Structure 1
Amino acid sequence: MDRTPTRPLQVRTPLSSKAPSMSLETPPSARLPRLETVAMDADESPFIKEPAPPTRKRRGRPKGSFGKILIAETGIQQSDLVFLRAVAEGVPPKSAAERYLGHRASMDTRTATAYVEQLQAALRMTIEQLADADERDRAKEALDAVLGPGQQTQEQIAPQTIRDPQQSCTTPPLATLEEFAQRFDPDMYTESELIDLYQAEYGVTGESPGSRNTSTHSSAQAEVVIPEADAIYGSRVDRLAALRWLSDHLSRKPVGSDPCSSWIEPRIAEQFTSVGVSTLAQLLTWINQRGSQWYGQLAGCGKTRARRLMLWLIDSEDDIGLSLNKSLLPPTADNNRPFSADQPHVETPGALVPLEHLSWPLELDGRHGEFRGGPTNTLYVHTDREAVQKWLTSIEEKSPATVESYRRSVGRLTMWAILERRRALSDLGHDDFRAFIEFLRNPPNHWVGKTTVMQISEEWRPFRGPQGEESIRLTMAAVSNLFKFLHKSGYLSQNAVPDGRVGRREVQMDVMRSFANEELDPVRATLEAMPDGPRKRRLRAIILLLQTAGMRRSEAVNATWGQITSMRIDNSLTSNHQIKFTGKGRRERTVPLQQGTIEALRAHYDDRMKLVEEKKLPKKYEEMELKDTPLLSILDERLTRYKPGRGQRPHDAPRNGNDNGALSASRLHGLLKGFFSEVAITAQEQLPGSTDAYLKASAHWFRHTFAHQVVHGTDGGVVVAQALLGHASLATTGLYVKANMTERAAAIAKLKPAV
């Protein structure tokens, strides 16, 4: 008989002989005993015992522990109850936590959901500890009105009833989305959240008032979920009133003297302490003073954390006793779409907006203006708006700065005439213009902006404060230019502007805003102390180009290598170089360049090409011809990227990228202002008392310095100085000669004292 080897068998046996009894009341998880694996021979007793694999432990903090810690550290805050109210209204816990608890911590969905349960338990425990029995009963009723008695599920927090399709389908008319939104606080939900809530309540999308159907709904619409006003634990109004009572009686409210560490994330509170901010009142003041980029001064505090903290501060303004500048609130993708210059602008009648977006009432469009010319004019226009647009086109050949100044001045006049004077431009007479001048001297508060914003912002205003006499003169010069143009073209029969000379006075250019020879020593010492590298070499090139060539800031940033050529002296070519460019007033001028300036520019160019090789600048810069390459270049690839632009602050403006890598005028200004701040520190030791001068210095100080040195080098020769500086008038160059005190000092020195 063939004997087959006995094969081990695996059977499943309970770990304990006392298995739990099986009953309907026993949870499914408890009905089956834990099993172990045992290897047995068919004819023998077990010989190998293999334990069951251990249950895998859940990673991370146990569910609910974060909420316990947070409540234990800070107690129940007012924001906790606002958060609980949002959840009761159907907002997902994570979204509610981001909006109302973001100043304390960041929560994911699991943590926020657990925090809801911990907060409910903490509220009940707090209520049980109340000494007054009546107050304790009132608190229980309030909490039950929101959550229902005992621990309730999420479905019970916002109960709904489902209408039977077989029942009558006659229902009250649906509310519009706008009417539905008015049930909530303005800053409680985003638009997308409101739409989700509307669809959850009515089962349809929000309709406009004009399209609302008040008739009987179809049977399909009758199957949607419809809330009952008195469902289970009271209406929404009752729940909100209950939460308000709980907030007033059980929660902590912030006050200005409270330490920041009692209300915001400890890590962020430590950062505020490092900059001297310890209380909530100091925090609000500090943010208002630092501006929209305040969070950049704190490690670990980005735009998202900053926005959440500021939203909480805005919610708590009444309790803290101070107000936060709302325009400093960092934008989000939802409520700040990328700005496009091509996007159509909706005109708002009566609004203070830039000239391009101003709403011109029909009765004030100038068709029947008091000083209109004949039936025809050389502009072929019929309204003041069309005439102003023709004028703007006619001045496009002027410098960009002049065009912007003229446009701004005429825009202010137009807004004043339409909104304040209620007259068309072609109706304005002498008395009107004199009234406008007085208006410039003291504009009303609603015309004055308190913060710097882009013109697309609703907070934009035409003025930053009262206008000085020089500003008024420049404004009236632009207005005079416009009305002369309209009068000459036949659009106006008379020109009532006081010929642009109102308030005119002799302008004295402050040519002493320059560096004396001794004041250049700290500049040189500060530059030499900088670590060697591309930024130091670029700064040297900037300073030498401005100070030894007398170029304006706009001229320097627009200069290219194609403008530098060999210089011919006495009809012979030399190894020297010169730069030829078009400057202010579209006047061409040629300025010799020192060899040191050429060497500094070449070193900066070599750095640019090396950065391209290292892929720190775009490859396309290497393919550019030398003649098109800018003399002054950027060094950071980030400045070459396209930026759509979000928000309404100047730093949020769109950026179209950088095709040639040229340094911008604003960037050059910022580089020099930062450098002069370092020079001021150096000058404290070398030239005591000169710190303020360096802090006030700008790029134009180097041009004034160049002018003084040229006048001194030519023994007062104004003709050469005028050619090098590009002045239209010799009288302007003469200001530097008048400022030279050499002869006057010598004359005074020869005087014989009387005593």
Structure 2
Amino acid sequence: MGPDLRTRKRVRGAAGPPSPAFQATRYLDNPYYHSSGFRPTNPLVLGQTSRTLFSDKHLGTLEGAPSCERPSSPVVPASHPMSTETPRLSHAHMAYVRCWAEGLELVPAWNRYLYVNGAGDARRARSELRRLLDELRALARAHGRPEIAALLRRDPEAIPDGTGSRIPTLEEFAADQPADFYSEAELIALHQERYGSADARSAARRRQRLRERLVQAVQWLTSVGARAPSPDDAASAWLDERVARRLEAVGILTLRDLVLWIRTKGFHWYRHIPKVGPEGASRVVRWIREHEDSLGALPSPALAPLSQIDTVALTPPPRVGIVPLERFRPPAERDGSRGTNRASPDRCKVAASNDYEAIQAWLRLRVEGTHTWRAYRKEAERFLLWAVIQRRKPLSSLDGDDCVSYRDFLASPGPEWTGPRNARRWSEAWRPFEGALSVRSQSTAMTIVRSLCEWLVRRHYLDSNPWDDVPARPDAPSMPQLRALSRKQWQLVQEWIHDELVSAPSPALHRLKFILDFAYMTGMRLAELASAEFGWLRHEQLDDGEWVWSIMVLGKRKKWREVPLPDPAVEALRAYLRSRGLDPDLLANDPKAPLVARLGEESPLSAARIYEILAAGFERCANHVLATDGRAADQIRAASTHWLRHTYGSHSAARGVPQDVLQANLGHESLATTSIYVRAEKARRHRAVRDAFGDGEPRPD
């Protein structure tokens, strides 16, 4: 039967395997090793066929095992379906296991292949290896290859190093193996492989031979079990469980949802998701980019801040479709150059040859970027797109019947006209509407486009105003609705931002807290907050000797008003100044410096950016509150800068601020506008009815 395995004397191996550092350099720097295909790069493995490596009597031959060439796109066989909720076996997972098979360090391999799950450490790396080996053994058994499952239980590092350790007898070795699993011949072959024969006892050679077979096993398992992620896969199947839960909290269930979210929100997409920070977000984006062949490519604004991108190069070429005004190009027959309602060209007093140019001339009458300019652009944009796309007419060919149809359209735009809230204008998800308009918003929209057409008539671009004989929509007026946060809802916002600053303080969070506090305690409009400078602050002594702070605000119709600053507002500003590295002495800073600035610089934030920051903050807060108070979460999610203004008015009135004082602080022309904030009477009425009917029956006199 050959030499007695029990009496052989072991010999010390002469040469050991390459050092882990050498192997890490050789493999982790190999670009082909990083691709989706896997082939051995070990020189002892290259040039050998799979049949050679798997021809041992105890292991058998793998029919159909791949050669060392890059395999074709592998698919998961129908006999081994995978749940969308359980982790998938990806090419990155297989590369990680192969690093183990090759003897590379696990932590660097984790950081190269499994980085999307966060930074690796020895414990996580080893735990994930055990999980993956369990899955691969199950996969091998599912394909009728128990010998491969057994092979994956072998660890090359467990082979004795030949320093004199006792070699177990064949009987002792057999007792440690699964009962009735191996034949006697297979047990002898296994014992001989592990402990060596008289002429091949080098531990290094035995380790190397085992590694080669493990690598080829991983090769074969890759071809039958690994695949690329699909858009319809659950995010939890590919991403870390904690990250997947946070994504699920905001409605991101699949990888398709995730890619659409990032495309819509842009580079700072993570700001809308609680407990997902910039580092984790960058790992997710990197992972998506590595799988863009199956998941789709991300646009440039998702990969870098807009300030670092050439926005001219970023803007796609104009086209026909439901796209922003600056990207819209109507077909020649509908561009308005030959509109049926065009006035005589020789009388036209506007330098415009088509409807788009006429709208641009009208918009130039307003200061670009202001709230009014954005509102006018939005309504002109909607009107032009509807005329060309829906009505299939130039704007300059519309008549009264068309305008009636547009009035009805505003009440219920179709799904192709509506998109997600706050989608950026460069995003493919952008649409002119975010949903059906309220009656008041419909009226505002018609007023603006009516004034557009009236101006075009005065400039002799249009012959007549198609809106002249169109009455307002004959609907009942909408019920008055105060869009403000209750005291309890505002308290939830305050608790959330406080907890965020305690757990993970950052300049962005300090800025968000200041915007929330200052807007709430001053009632300033969005445009006013964006324009505010330190030179607007006033520190004055009253007749009774008290020193007080206030801020001069440039409001609507270019009118200045003075808004008193309570002590908490002053302290909020000082805290924000400290976070910016500025002097907390309010009068010691540059009078021209913006009150709200970009991170890391002293340039002002635009009104649109402040709106986005607050919208993202309210969304994150709502997600945090959702588990305990769903209705409050809905209110907080819908909030905006204007809600903060209304919240200021409502809470001030409830605390006894006189209406005339509140009117002056808010800059209202009419006291009637301010009266909507008087809620004390409402609360008193509710309490009276509750006292009368608290038990369901009127109380006796």
Taking the aligned partners of 2:336 and 2:402, their CA distance within structure 1 comes to 15
Give the partner amino acid of 2:49.
A
1:396 paired with 2:367, answer yes
**1:410 maps to which residue?**
380
Taking the aligned partners of 1:453 and 1:688, their CA distance within structure 2 comes to 24
Structure 1-normalised TM-score?
0.54
Following superposition, the deviation at residue 581 of structure 1 comes to 1.1
Partner secondary structure for residue 565 of structure 1: strand
Whether the 8 Å CA contact 1:513–1:704 is kept in 2: the answer is yes
Following superposition, the deviation at residue 407 of structure 1 comes to 1.4
Distance 1:254 1:326, change over 3 A: farther
Following superposition, the deviation at residue 401 of structure 1 comes to 2.7
**1:476 maps to which residue?**
446
Aligned alpha-carbon RMSD (Å): 5.8
Aligned counterpart in structure 2 of residue 121 of structure 1, from 49, 57, 67 = 49
1:706 paired with 2:648, answer yes
1:547 paired with 2:520, answer yes
Taking the aligned partners of 1:127 and 1:468, their CA distance within structure 2 comes to 75
**1:598 maps to which residue?**
570
Partner secondary structure for residue 538 of structure 2: strand
Distance 1:347 1:697, change over 3 A: closer
The 10-residue stretch of structure 1 (624-633 or 405-414) with the greater mean CA deviation from structure 2:
624-633
Partner secondary structure for residue 370 of structure 1: coil
Name the % identity: 21
Taking the aligned partners of 1:524 and 1:247, their CA distance within structure 2 comes to 52
Whether the 8 Å CA contact 2:597–2:603 is kept in 1: the answer is no
How do 1:348-497 and structure 2 match up within 5 A?
Answer: 348-374=318-344, 375-396=346-367, 400-441=370-411, 443=413, 446-449=416-419, 454-458=424-428, 460-465=430-435, 467=437, 469-497=439-467
Distance 1:601 1:451, change over 3 A: closer
**1:673 maps to which residue?**
618
**1:737 maps to which residue?**
678
1:659 paired with 2:603, answer yes
Following superposition, the deviation at residue 493 of structure 1 comes to 1.8
Partner secondary structure for residue 589 of structure 1: strand
Following superposition, the deviation at residue 569 of structure 1 comes to 5.0
Taking the aligned partners of 1:470 and 1:455, their CA distance within structure 2 comes to 24
Whether the 8 Å CA contact 1:563–1:580 is kept in 2: the answer is yes
Whether the 8 Å CA contact 1:680–1:692 is kept in 2: the answer is no
Taking the aligned partners of 1:115 and 1:309, their CA distance within structure 2 comes to 33
Whether the 8 Å CA contact 2:349–2:460 is kept in 1: the answer is yes
Question: For residues 497-545 of structure 1, what are the alpha-carbon distances to aligned partners after superposition, in whole Å with 9 as ceiling and x for unaligned?
Answer: 26583367645553362334x7766677778876598979877755553
How do 1:239-254 and structure 2 match up within 5 A?
Answer: none
1:564 paired with 2:537, answer yes
Taking the aligned partners of 1:746 and 1:445, their CA distance within structure 2 comes to 43
Give the partner amino acid of 1:59.
S
Whether the 8 Å CA contact 2:319–2:329 is kept in 1: the answer is yes
Q: How many residues align?
A: 521
Taking the aligned partners of 1:543 and 1:433, their CA distance within structure 2 comes to 41
**2:242 maps to which residue?**
275
Give the partner amino acid of 2:537.
I
1:260 paired with 2:228, answer no
1:630 paired with 2:594, answer yes
How do 1:90-105 and structure 2 match up within 5 A?
Answer: 97-101=33-37
Whether the 8 Å CA contact 2:611–2:641 is kept in 1: the answer is no
Following superposition, the deviation at residue 95 of structure 1 comes to 5.1
Gaps of 5+ in 1: 1-53, 71-92, 102-106, 158-242, 316-323, 613-620, 641-657
Taking the aligned partners of 1:435 and 1:726, their CA distance within structure 2 comes to 37
Following superposition, the deviation at residue 575 of structure 1 comes to 1.9
1:728 paired with 2:669, answer yes
How do 1:41-440 and structure 2 match up within 5 A?
Answer: 58-60=18-20, 97-101=33-37, 113-114=41-42, 121-122=49-50, 255-257=82-84, 259-260=86-87, 262-263=89-90, 264-265=92-93, 268=114, 272=239, 274-275=241-242, 285-290=253-258, 291-292=261-262, 297=276, 303=282, 306-308=285-287, 312=291, 315=294, 339-343=309-313, 347-374=317-344, 375-396=346-367, 400-440=370-410
Distance 1:123 1:436, change over 3 A: farther
**1:182 maps to which residue?**
none
Taking the aligned partners of 2:621 and 2:423, their CA distance within structure 1 comes to 27
Aligned counterpart in structure 2 of residue 582 of structure 1, from 533, 544, 554 = 554
Partner secondary structure for residue 514 of structure 1: coil
Gaps of 5+ in 2: 1-13, 97-109, 118-127, 129-237, 263-268
Distance 1:622 1:424, change over 3 A: same
Following superposition, the deviation at residue 431 of structure 1 comes to 1.8
Taking the aligned partners of 1:599 and 1:734, their CA distance within structure 2 comes to 30
Distance 1:544 1:427, change over 3 A: closer
Higher-RCO chain (CA-CA 8 Å, sequence separation at least 6): 2
Following superposition, the deviation at residue 260 of structure 1 comes to 2.1
Question: For residues 113-133 of structure 1, what are the alpha-carbon distances to aligned partners after superposition, in whole Å with 9 as ceiling and x for unaligned?
Answer: 55996698348878999xxx9
Structure 2-normalised TM-score?
0.57
Whether the 8 Å CA contact 1:567–1:575 is kept in 2: the answer is yes
Give the partner amino acid of 2:521.
T
Whether the 8 Å CA contact 1:537–1:600 is kept in 2: the answer is no
Taking the aligned partners of 2:22 and 2:494, their CA distance within structure 1 comes to 62
Whether the 8 Å CA contact 1:480–1:500 is kept in 2: the answer is no
Whether the 8 Å CA contact 2:419–2:432 is kept in 1: the answer is yes
Distance 1:116 1:705, change over 3 A: farther
